[in-house]
Structure 1
Amino acid sequence: MAEAYTYILECGDGSLYTGWTNDLRKRVKTHNAGQGAKYTRSRLPVRLVYFETFADKQAAQSREWQIKQLTRAQKLALIDKDLKKNYNK
């Protein structure tokens, strides 16, 4: 099975978008090109601020749903916690 990713993208206006994909590079490129991103009305570039890797798409979809239930403040705390865990070793 191919691995899948759950991610949070931050749009240029500060809004956060959560999703999952099997091809994260293609998804970010698509968002930045303003194509296929029906919820990115502003067409501002996005940057990846959080991601997790999973062995299958069902696990990634489940985690995406959990993240979507979080408030903006909780998502920002999750991003901050992930940054500290990965970059302060």
Structure 2
Amino acid sequence: MAAAQDSILADLTEMINAVLGDFATDQVITMDTTFRDDLGMESIDVVSLAGRLQARYGDTVNFAHFVAKLDLETVGELRVGQLVDHIATSLEGDGVPAGSR
């Protein structure tokens, strides 16, 4: 699943940079990058990211369901890798190889 994760991370990085626009940092986004502390994403940014995920992956990747399972503290410390893993798992559960979307 490493190749699929790399592909998803690249897609997610593009989405994050599009959401942050001029506020995007020059830092490299990795699996350990946190949305709040490292990227400075606010809740409105996360909502915008959720919309982009919906547009990219459709109903297969349910971001709201993923976040609903987390407590408030965990959401604040959410790492990009956790979302990448969720996307990969969701796509595999749909029967579509994650790297082929």
Higher helix proportion (structure 1 or 2): 2
**Do these two structures clear the TM 0.5 threshold for a shared fold by scoring above it?**
no
**TM (normalized to structure 2)?**
0.30
Where is the strand percentage greater, Structure 1 or Structure 2? 1
- The answer to which structure, 1 or 2, has the higher relative contact order (CA under 8 A, 6+ apart) is 2
